[in-house]
Structure 1
Amino acid sequence: MDWLTRMNDTLDRIEQQLDGRPDVEALAREAYSSPFHFQRMFHALTGYPLGEYVRRRRLTRAAQELAASSIKVVDVALKYGYESPEAFAKAFRKTHGVTPTMARQPGCRLVAFPKLRFHLSLKGEEEMNYRIEKRDRFTIAGASIVVSCENGENFRRIPQFWQESGQNGTIGRVLELCPGQPLIGACTDFRIVGEKDESERFRYMIAVEAPTGTVPEPFEHEGAEFVEREVPASTWAVFTAVGPLPESVQSVSLRIYSEWFPSTGYEHAGGLELELYLEDGGPDSDAVTEIWVPVKLSSQ
């Protein structure tokens, strides 16, 4: 239940930040997750990308303020993060079907997107098999791109990166770094220095486990930057997803957060999550993927 309480606390924190820029990193820390995986978990559990949920709640609150007060439209637009009244009016009309000015008219029908709450649902579904692994720190090396979480870009760009990397030979180049190792998907380098929206960006890697120094200096290949990163020593809960990609991984990831964490004595340790692609699958076989989640006991 502690996990459920923390997730609902993040919803309360989002409400407090609607008139500013939500601090994704702080929200993720409160949920004991990384910024990327918090947003993926939020999307999986609610059906809405975090940015879309925030946008809908802002426009709901904006409509309520316009209907109940004499506040200027331009002030409401600025309060809820819009750079101009025109941009605000366009978003407002798309959601409510009327202009901000029309929202002041008596009897005007507006749309209210309610604040969400998380609840534990005991469904009695199939068991979840997992194992606990303890590993010392190790190094991964491979191809990477910088991805934004803004407007759900990460959900589109990462699958595209995998597809492009398979077509242009990048995956083959990654496998050559340490032959015999499975491909790994990993998110690193949150808050990249120098980016305008630091808290919304991270580096996504298609990598393999490799000795330190495999990529002594970053280099470019087919639009991707080859780098290496250290994975800290951790205790991992390891789950296996079997089936077509990416659906099998998404399904197991949802169950990890909605069923496994609430029903065990573990909580997310806040480090990197890894996806190990053990078998590609094909016309007559399923893909086999391991999802590695850093965990710690709740009492620690």
Structure 2
Amino acid sequence: MEWLQRMKDALDYIEGHLEDHIQMGDIAKSAYSSPYHFQRMFYMVTGMTVHEYIRKRRLTLAAQELALARVKVVDVAIKYGYDSPESFSKAFRKAHGISPSAVRQGGVNLKAFPRITFHLSLKGDQEMDYKVVEKQPFTMVGKALKVSMTAEGEHNKEIPKFWSKSHQDGTIDLLISIAADGNVYGVCAEFEEEEDQFTYLIAVTADANSISTEQGLVVKEIPAATWAVFPCIGAMPDAIQKLSMRIFSEWFPSTGYEHAPIPNMEVYPPGDSSSADYRTEVWIPIVKK
């Protein structure tokens, strides 16, 4: 499968340049992909960002060098892209639970993060319904939360909490009162890969003039785009999390589309979102490869 080979080529590129300053554009180029699409695909398929993966691989190799060779901590820090021994020590301790200097004493436990490998997995036994929609620019108004993208899946915990809090403190009622179409949206925007985080908005389509700064709401302009729209049936948030995974691991690799560099959305119409027959949609902005 072509996308599988492209991901393997990207991993080969990363492994061959762990001692260099790696540019995301060069990694994506090795996979014949745009940087934005490659980063989305990598995260959804592996559960971690590209930068997180590179950090873990570098710290694994750094630990091996400190354990097996007579090298200075400062030399290893510089070799693997750290500006100072202090920043390297902080990252190293977080990854391995001990300081770099302690490794050289021998007899200590270290954590190894092996290179990721991709294998062909036959899927597609379940159909995926979707439609392609052209949509003009529109304005979204809502509350925003920065969440972390880590292998521990923090965002899958924090976003449901954000929804619960927004129901309790009246934010949802406020948004519905100014909504143009009666729906509430979950918007994934402003991905900051190097910081391993993105901004999640609970929002509605509305006129920006309908809000005041005292309400603590933010405005997000969404440009004209082509969207792949996927229906989702089931209790939230499990149903939409599973569908999102299928979109990136099954649908994108089998089509001629890439993720456009603008926010994607979840559309939540009125109803009981905990019901097994609750119906919503996932909107993914797309461009032709």
TM-score (norm 2): 0.77
Residues 234, 278 of structure 2: 8 Å contact kept = yes
Matches within 5 A, 1:37-186: 38=39, 41-48=41-48, 53-77=53-77, 79-80=79-80, 81=82, 83=86, 87=90, 90-91=93-94, 93-94=96-97, 99-103=102-106, 111-149=111-149, 154-178=155-179, 180-186=181-187
Aligned-residue offset at 1:163: 1.7
Aligned-residue offset at 1:167: 0.9
Aligned-residue offset at 1:267: 2.3
Aligned-residue offset at 1:58: 2.3
3-state SS, counterpart of residue 83 of structure 1: helix
Change in CA separation of 1:59 and 1:95 when aligned onto 2, cut-off 3 Å: farther
Aligned equivalents of 1:25, 1:17: Cα separation in 2: 13
Q: Which residue of 2 aligns with 1:194?
A: none
Matches within 5 A, 1:144-293: 144-149=144-149, 154-178=155-179, 180-190=181-191, 200-211=196-207, 213-215=209-211, 219-221=213-215, 225-281=216-272, 285-293=276-284
**Count of residue pairs the alignment pairs up:** 282
**Aligned letter for 1:264?**
T
Aligned-residue offset at 1:25: 8.6
Aligned equivalents of 2:185, 2:77: Cα separation in 1: 43
Change in CA separation of 1:289 and 1:125 when aligned onto 2, cut-off 3 Å: same
Aligned-residue offset at 1:130: 0.9
- Please report the RMSD computed on the Cα atoms of aligned residues, expressed in angstroms: 3.8
Aligned-residue offset at 1:179: 5.5
Residues 93, 99 of structure 1: 8 Å contact kept = no
- Per-residue CA deviation, residues 24-68 of structure 1 (Å, 9 max, x unaligned), is 798789754758x946x5444224465653443222111222244
3-state SS, counterpart of residue 295 of structure 1: strand
Aligned equivalents of 1:275, 1:282: Cα separation in 2: 12
Residues 25, 34 of structure 2: 8 Å contact kept = no
Q: Which residue of 2 aligns with 1:296?
A: 287
Residues 182, 276 of structure 1: 8 Å contact kept = yes
230-239 vs 64-73, which deviates more?
A: 64-73
Change in CA separation of 1:32 and 1:159 when aligned onto 2, cut-off 3 Å: farther
- Per-residue CA deviation, residues 168-196 of structure 1 (Å, 9 max, x unaligned), is 111111111126421111133456xxxxx
3-state SS, counterpart of residue 239 of structure 1: strand
Change in CA separation of 1:21 and 1:199 when aligned onto 2, cut-off 3 Å: farther
42-51 vs 134-143, which deviates more?
A: 42-51
70-79 vs 201-210, which deviates more?
A: 70-79
Residues 142, 217 of structure 2: 8 Å contact kept = yes
226-235 vs 80-89, which deviates more?
A: 80-89
Change in CA separation of 1:289 and 1:84 when aligned onto 2, cut-off 3 Å: same
Change in CA separation of 1:242 and 1:25 when aligned onto 2, cut-off 3 Å: farther
Change in CA separation of 1:112 and 1:142 when aligned onto 2, cut-off 3 Å: closer
Aligned equivalents of 2:260, 2:88: Cα separation in 1: 43
**Aligned letter for 1:135?**
K
TM-score (norm 1): 0.75
**Aligned letter for 1:56?**
K
3-state SS, counterpart of residue 240 of structure 2: helix
Aligned equivalents of 1:23, 1:185: Cα separation in 2: 30
Alignment gaps of 5+ in structure 1: 192-196
149-158 vs 182-191, which deviates more?
A: 149-158
Change in CA separation of 1:86 and 1:214 when aligned onto 2, cut-off 3 Å: same
Residues 189, 200 of structure 2: 8 Å contact kept = yes
Aligned-residue offset at 1:140: 1.3
Aligned equivalents of 1:76, 1:61: Cα separation in 2: 10
Aligned-residue offset at 1:158: 2.6
- Per-residue CA deviation, residues 178-220 of structure 1 (Å, 9 max, x unaligned), is 26421111133456xxxxx9855543211111235334x6x24
